[in-house]
Structures are given as structure tokens and as C-alpha cells.
């Protein structure tokens, strides 16, 4: 499945709402890959604002498992100002809410103060590394649609001492636009898992993504660095930064992850 602006046209108007078919092959445990769910919300929200406005941030709550198949969506423009639009989206299946998202679309103001982001982490290039293997039953199904190459830090369940890592990633099929950035920000597992010595289940409860730069092409390798800010009582706050193939800072993510260890 291509995760890009074409998702906007895949939402079909039905009985005062919209419907989208979520494909098989993208499961993450009991639910569809959260990045795809978030991208679907963004696509529906984008249909309700001016094309000149770009997504800057989206906060998503994954309320219940999302099944592959039809999903129903409703979007509400909460407020539309001169330079900012606020849009809320709710997704449901079988008349039950499964996800909600609050988005901010903006009209860029050129000439304002620029504060550059820190550079991407140093390390071995992706060409010197190998893809993480897709092992059915051990890694999430959706990962067969993504290339990931670990560059530093501990892989899940390896008993590492530091909850941080960085690596390289790209989708196997075409991706692009804000939808592609949002989805890519959710590809990697929680850094906390690298400190465990045996498999355990982890689930994202809520997450916020900031989109800073959308490259023209998603064909090259993106760089991603991820760390656990703090974790206790079964819930961990994690944060990550994504860099485009040209090295530009592309996006930032923060998630609340429930850890069942």
C-alpha cells in the first residue's frame, strides 16, 4: 500500500461520513500498524482544509485495536484562522471508536526566525548494514513493508543497558507527503524493549508527531534516533527524531507506550 497523499482520495463519502479500506498485511499485534492509522487520519483531515495549508502536528490516541478492512471516519474543522486550521478526526469500526486525532495545519510564513535542528547522529552508513529480518510470529507483520537497518544501540530483548538507538529506514513501496512522514515516525519499536532480556508486549497509547520537512523523494534512507525519556509503572515516554535522505530534519515524535513486562 502506498502511504502518501493518494490516501486522501481513497476516503469515500458515505452517509454523511467517509470510509476507507485498510489493507491486510499491515498488522502490528492485534491492530493495524499505528503509523498507517495515523496517516489515514491525516489524509481525512487534509481533505477538509485548503491545499495551501500543510500539516505541522498531529496528536493521535489509539483507543482500541483497529482491524484490517473498512473503517469509518468523521472530520470536524474545529477552527480555521488566518494562518492555522484545527481539525479533529475520529475513526470507528462496528459503531465503536477505535482512534482519534487532533491536527494543526498551517500556512507557512516565510522570513520568520529560523532555529536549525541538531544534526543527524553519526555512525556507519546504511550501505554497510543489513536489513532486519522479517520473522513471522516474532516481529510485527507490517515490518515486511519496511526496510530497517540498526546502526547503534540495543535491539529488542537483548538486555542492553541504554534505552536509545539509531538506525535507517525506508518503505518498500512508494511513500510521500505528510502521510508518509507520519507513518515513518511510528515504524521503530520502543527503545525500552532493548533493555529487556525476554520478549514482552508493548502498545502505543497516544503519540504526537511534528512534521518539519517533507522531501520530494522517499526513495533514499531516512535516519531515525529514538530514546526513552522516562518509564515507570508500566508506562514509558519515548521520543524520536527523523531525518530525510538529504540530512534535513524531517519530523519529531513522542509516544506514551504501555509495557507489559
Residue-wise pLDDT for 27-51, tens only, equals: 999 999 999 999 999 999 999 999 9
The answer for residues whose C-beta is within 8 angstroms of residue 228's C-beta and 6 or more apart is 163, 164, 190, 191, 192, 236, 237, 238
Helix (H, G, I), strand (E, B) or coil at 199: coil
DSSP code for 81: -
Q: Residue with C-alpha cell 521503530?
A: 188
Give the closest residue to 101 by CA, choosing from 84, 78, 134, 128. Answer: 78
Q: Which residues contact 110 (CB under 8 A, 6 or more apart)?
A: none
User: H helices then E strands: how many in the chain?
Assistant: 3, 14
Distance CA 80, CA 234 (A): 38
* Architecture of the domain whose range is 7-108+126-260: Beta Barrel (2.40)
The predicted model gives 114-123 an average pLDDT of 92
Q: Is the pLDDT of residue 134 over 80?
A: yes
Do 218 and 257 meet the contact criterion of CB atoms below 8 Å apart? no
Asked if residue 223 lies in contact with residue 213, where contact means CB atoms within 8 angstroms, the answer is no
What per-residue confidence (pLDDT) applies to 63?
96
Domains in the chain: boundaries: 7-108+126-260
Q: Determine the average pLDDT of the residues in 96-105.
A: 98
pLDDT confidence tier of residue 1, bands split at 50, 70 and 90: confident
Strand bridging mode 164-171 / 146-153: antiparallel
| For helices 34-46 and 177-184, angle between their N-to-C axes, nearest 10 degrees | 150
Under the banding of pLDDT at 50, 70 and 90, the label for residue 111 is confident
Residues 136-194: tens digit of each pLDDT: 888 999 999 999 999 999 999 999 999 999 999 999 999 999 999 999 999 999 999 99
Amino acid at each position: 500500500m502506498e502511504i502518501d497523499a493518494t490516501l486522501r482520495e481513497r476516503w469515500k463519502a458515505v452517509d454523511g461520513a467517509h470510509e476507507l479500506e485498510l489493507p491486510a498485511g499491515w498488522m502490528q499485534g492485534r491492530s493495524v500498524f499505528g503509523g498507517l492509522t495515523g496517516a489515514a487520519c491525516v489524509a481525512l483531515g487534509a481533505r477538509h482544509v485548503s491545499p495551501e495549508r500543510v500539516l505541522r502536528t498531529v496528536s493521535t490516541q489509539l483507543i482500541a485495536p483497529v482491524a484490517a478492512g473498512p473503517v469509518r471516519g468523521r472530520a470536524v474543522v474545529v477552527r480555521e484562522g488566518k494562518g492555522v486550521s484545527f481539525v479533529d478526526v475520529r475513526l470507528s469500526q462496528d459503531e465503536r471508536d477505535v482512534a482519534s486525532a487532533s491536527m494543526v495545519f498551517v500556512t507557512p510564513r516565510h522570513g520568520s526566525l529560523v532555529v536549525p535542528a541538531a544534526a543527524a547522529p553519526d555512525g556507519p552508513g546504511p550501505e554497510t548494514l543489513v536489513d532486519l529480518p522479517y520473522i513471522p510470529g516474532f516481529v510485527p507483520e507490517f515490518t515486511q513493508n519496511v526496510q530497517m537497518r540498526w546502526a547503534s544501540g540495543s535491539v529488542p530483548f537483548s538486555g542492553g543497558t541504554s534505552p536509545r538507538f539509531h538506525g535507517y529506514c525506508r518503505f518498500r513501496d512508494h511513500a510521500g507527503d505528510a502521510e508518509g512522514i507520519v507513518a515513518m515516525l511510528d515504524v521503530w519499536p520502543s527503545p525500552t524493549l532493548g533493555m529487556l532480556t525476554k520478549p514482552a508486549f508493548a502498545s502505543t497509547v497516544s503519540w504526537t508527531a511534528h512534521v518539519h520537512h517533507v522531501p520530494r523523494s522517499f526513495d533514499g534512507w531516512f535516519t531515525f534516533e529514538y530514546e526513552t525519556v522516562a518509564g515507570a509503572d508500566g508506562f514509558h515516554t519515548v521520543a524520536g527524531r527523523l531525518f530525510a535522505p538529504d540530512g534535513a530534519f524531517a519530523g519529531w515524535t513522542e509516544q506514551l507506550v504501555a509495557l507489559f513486562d
